[in-house]
A and B are shown apart, each in its own frame.
Chain A
Amino acid sequence: MIVASKKPIEEIIQSVQGSKRLLIVGCNECVTVCEAGGKKEVGILASALRMYFMNQGKEMTIDEVTLERQCDKEYLEEIKHMVPNYDTILSLACGVGVQFMAEMYKDKPVLPGVNTTFMGATLERGVWGERCAGCGQCILAKTAAVCPVARCAKRLFNGPCGGSTKGKCEINPNTDCAWQLIIDRLKALGRLDDYDELMPIKDWSKDRAGGPRIVVREDIRL
């Protein structure tokens, strides 16, 4: 899932200061799972903002709605009839949702309510970890399903580096060394010989280095 974290309420208060009619829009997908921008978080934020502005004596309408997704036009269209009633939209979706909302409702200021952070998984209740960097050319088959692009601080393809100590990365004693994980797993799979194979230079043009990316599927395109 795309993992995001809530923005501090002070920052949100600051960004919606000029609004008189605010619509807070949640997303039922990734940000619901990582508890940053789902229906519940929309309710909590709306309640907190209402209290803040009431306390300030400022008249402000704050309403809530949560969409199935904000990265598909069909779902964004569901609030077409509501949008004209508001002067600002605060989207608790990931950066994709915020931008797609702004592309659809061109004359409406759309503000972000979360900090979109990475593609990751739930490690335990309340803890999420990065697993994929969307580099555009997956090499997990060669690295025993541990990604050095997302999980090695240096994105090394032939690791580990000299900063790996007792299985941890030199940047943080709590961060696992991705290459230690790769070696451990290759060993467990009886494929340690694969480690001797040198990895070729990666084509980074398929990553962000190639500029904004687009996927076109002519076979399904209408």
Chain B
Amino acid sequence: MQYPPTIRIIRVPCTGKVDLLHILRCFEKGADGVYVVGCMEGDCRFKTGNLRAKKRVYQAKEILEKVGVGGDRVEMFNLSSGEGPKFAQIATEMTQRIKALGPNPIKGKLIKKAA
């Protein structure tokens, strides 16, 4: 199983831990794309963690679209822990999507490093 070396994995105990602010800060610091990989809907050990994450990803999409960074740069995926090949496929898909979109437009315009 292989996936592109373009992604950096940040582990969280549950996607419910991922906050909207975490996603926005990534872009503020120059990330070209962010995707959240959670368990299958209905299979969350904490019941609604992945559903909360999904909402936050949509909130991030909306904000990024409005500030001119682009809502397509962020996405939510669901898969079970046994689906390694699908994980690799998602990584490839997302890498292709971000490459097509080009770099984060605020990169290079960073006036002040995010606090």
- Chain B interface size band reads 20 to 34
Q: Could you tell me if B21 and A51 are in contact, using CB atoms closer than 8 angstroms?
A: no
Stretch of B2-10, B79-87, B91-99, B106-114 at the chain-chain interface: B106-114
Q: Which residues of A (1-57) have their CB < 8 Å from a CB of B? A: 9-10, 40, 43-44, 47-52, 54-57
Contact with A along B1-28 (1 / 0, CB 8 A): 0000000000000000001110011011
Given contacts A54-B109, A55-B68, contact A47 B114 (CB under 8 A): yes
Q: Report Cα–Cα, A55/B108, bound state, in Å.
A: 9
Q: Is A63 an interface residue (CB 8 A)?
A: yes
Please name all residues of chain A whose beta carbon is closer than 8 Å to the beta carbon of B20 when the two chains form the complex.
Answer: 40, 44
Q: Could you tell me if A55 and B21 are in contact, using CB atoms closer than 8 angstroms?
A: no
Q: Could you tell me if A51 and B106 are in contact, using CB atoms closer than 8 angstroms?
A: yes
Select one of A9, A43, A55, A60 contacting B63, CB under 8 A: A9
Select one of A51, A55, A60, A63 contacting B24, CB under 8 A: A51
Q: Which residues of A (52-110) have their CB < 8 Å from a CB of B? A: 52, 54-57, 59-61, 63-64
Q: Is B36 an interface residue (CB 8 A)?
A: no
Please name all residues of chain A whose beta carbon is closer than 8 Å to the beta carbon of B68 when the two chains form the complex.
Answer: 51-52, 55-56
Select one of B21, B105, B110, B111 contacting A47, CB under 8 A: B21
Given contacts A43-B21, A51-B27, A51-B28, contact A57 B66 (CB under 8 A): no
Select one of A10, A47, A54, A61 contacting B66, CB under 8 A: A10
Q: Is B100 an interface residue (CB 8 A)?
A: no
Select one of B67, B105, B115 contacting A9, CB under 8 A: B67
Chain A residues with a Cβ under 8 A of chain B: 9-10, 40, 43-44, 47-52, 54-57, 59-61, 63-64
Q: Could you tell me if B24 and A61 are in contact, using CB atoms closer than 8 angstroms?
A: no
Q: Report Cα–Cα, A63/B106, bound state, in Å.
A: 19
Apart from A50-B114, A51-B27, A55-B69, what are 4 other A-B pairs with CB-CB below 8 Å?
A10-B66, A47-B114, A51-B64, A52-B66
Q: Report Cα–Cα, A117/B63, bound state, in Å.
A: 23
Instruction: List the 7 closest pairs (A to B, CB-CB), nearest first.
Output: A52-B67, A47-B24, A54-B106, A55-B68, A51-B67, A43-B21, A48-B63
